[in-house]
């Protein structure tokens, strides 16, 4: 495969974005491969992957909004903020639907958020999660984010609720879940997380890992051209061989 382009992968759970990208690159025989918008291993959904000279576009493709659907489990706090971490605190209080709805207004619009300590934010050249994993406490500062919309979709179980949020880049959904719980006098973690939109890239146009692994299609049918991705953008010139 020599042509440049981008595919939208529906990333499966359990593997890192970098690992998945390398596997796909080898499978399709691309000379170069890279991904946009990292997803944590436990997360699924939209992961755009660029091939060959289209990898030069990665620094130029800026997403203003990302949309996630996520399940929050109340009553347990985990060190990583998600299902992969050890339980570090518990609470007997699980809020009702009405109680949750009453606080969502505090988490919409332009707000300040402290990145999760198990994040890739760098502190003096070291990632926060690297400091946290060795028992340290990374010194993370509040920073502005925008939550364009935050909706409670349904109750998934006695202790968990499903939300949908459209947010600015740099927003940590794990921190959002913990902050909502803290506002309600409880603790929580993100049980599952799915990205359904990343800028112009939508889950509706995504392909599964199984489809890519089987190669039961013509790659041209799912490959978005650089011109399509950056229509009317001067960055188009970056993809010339």
Backbone angles phi, psi at 62, to 5 degrees: -110, 125
Instruction: Report residue 237's pLDDT band, with 50, 70 and 90 as the boundaries.
Output: very low
Instruction: Report residue 235's pLDDT band, with 50, 70 and 90 as the boundaries.
Output: very low
Task: Please indicate, yes or no, whether residues 71 and 49 belong to a single structural domain of this protein.
Answer: no
* Final residue before a domain boundary, out of 182, 197, 212: 197
Alpha-carbon distance of 238 to 241, in angstroms, equals 9
Task: Please indicate, yes or no, whether residues 16 and 85 belong to a single structural domain of this protein.
Answer: no
Instruction: Report residue 132's pLDDT band, with 50, 70 and 90 as the boundaries.
Output: low
Task: Please indicate, yes or no, whether residues 90 and 174 belong to a single structural domain of this protein.
Answer: yes
Alpha-carbon distance of 101 to 96, in angstroms, equals 9
Average pLDDT, integer, range 148-167: 97
- The model's pLDDT over 85-122, given as tens digits with 9 standing for 90+, comes to 999 999 999 999 999 999 999 999 999 998 877 667 67
Bin 32: left if φ > 0, else alpha if -120 < ψ < 50, else beta: beta
Contact 33, 49 (CB under 8 A): yes
Task: Please indicate, yes or no, whether residues 40 and 79 belong to a single structural domain of this protein.
Answer: no
Task: Please indicate, yes or no, whether residues 15 and 110 belong to a single structural domain of this protein.
Answer: no
- The model's pLDDT over 52-82, given as tens digits with 9 standing for 90+, comes to 988 888 888 878 899 999 999 999 999 999 9
Is residue 31 pLDDT above 70, yes or no? yes
Alpha-carbon distance of 65 to 214, in angstroms, equals 32
Task: Please indicate, yes or no, whether residues 171 and 229 belong to a single structural domain of this protein.
Answer: no
pLDDT at 225: 76
pLDDT at 173: 96
Domain encompassing residue 107: 66-197
Choosing from 40, 82, 179, 198, the catalytic residue is 40
pLDDT at 232: 36
Alpha-carbon distance of 168 to 107, in angstroms, equals 13
Task: Please indicate, yes or no, whether residues 87 and 50 belong to a single structural domain of this protein.
Answer: no
pLDDT at 136: 73
Alpha-carbon distance of 109 to 100, in angstroms, equals 17
Task: Please indicate, yes or no, whether residues 190 and 106 belong to a single structural domain of this protein.
Answer: yes
pLDDT at 219: 66
Task: Please indicate, yes or no, whether residues 89 and 174 belong to a single structural domain of this protein.
Answer: yes
CATH number at residue 71: 3.30.2350.10
pLDDT at 106: 96
- Tokens (6 digits) for 221: 């049918």
Q: Determine which of 2-16, 89-103, 117-131, 186-200 has the lowest per-residue pLDDT on average.
A: 117-131
Alpha-carbon distance of 192 to 160, in angstroms, equals 11
Full-model pTM: 0.89
Is 40 assigned a catalytic role? yes
Task: Please indicate, yes or no, whether residues 155 and 221 belong to a single structural domain of this protein.
Answer: no
Task: Please indicate, yes or no, whether residues 192 and 94 belong to a single structural domain of this protein.
Answer: yes
The domain total for the chain is 2
Task: Please indicate, yes or no, whether residues 71 and 153 belong to a single structural domain of this protein.
Answer: yes
Percent of the chain with pLDDT over 90: 56
């Amino acid at each position: 495969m020599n042509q440049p382009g981008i595919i939208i992968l529906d990333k499966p759970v359990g593997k890192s974005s970098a690992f998945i990208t390398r596997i796909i690159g080898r499978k399709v025989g691309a000379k170069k491969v890279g991904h946009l918008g990292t997803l944590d291993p436990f997360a699924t959904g939209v992961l755009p992957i660029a091939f060959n000279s289209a990898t030069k576009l990665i620094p130029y493709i800026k997403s203003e909004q990302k949309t996630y659907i996520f399940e929050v489990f109340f009553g347990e706090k985990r060190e990583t903020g998600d299902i992969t971490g050890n339980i570090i605190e518990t609470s007997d209080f699980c809020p009702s639907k009405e109680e949750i709805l009453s606080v969502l207004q505090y988490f919409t619009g332009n707000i300040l958020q402290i990145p999760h300590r198990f994040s890739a934010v760098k502190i003096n050249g070291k990632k926060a999660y690297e400091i946290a994993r060795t028992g340290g406490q990374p010194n993370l500062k509040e920073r502005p984010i925008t939550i364009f919309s935050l909706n409670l979709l349904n109750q998934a179980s006695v202790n968990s609720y499903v939300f949908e949020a459209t947010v600015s880049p740099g927003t940590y959904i794990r921190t959002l879940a913990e902050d909502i719980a803290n506002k309600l006098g409880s603790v929580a973690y993100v049980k599952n997380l799915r990205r359904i939109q990343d800028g112009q890239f939508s889950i509706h146009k995504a392909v599964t890992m199984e489809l890519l692994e089987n190669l039961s299609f013509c790659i041209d049918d799912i490959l978005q051209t650089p011109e399509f991705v950056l229509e009317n953008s001067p960055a188009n010139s970056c993809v010339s061989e």
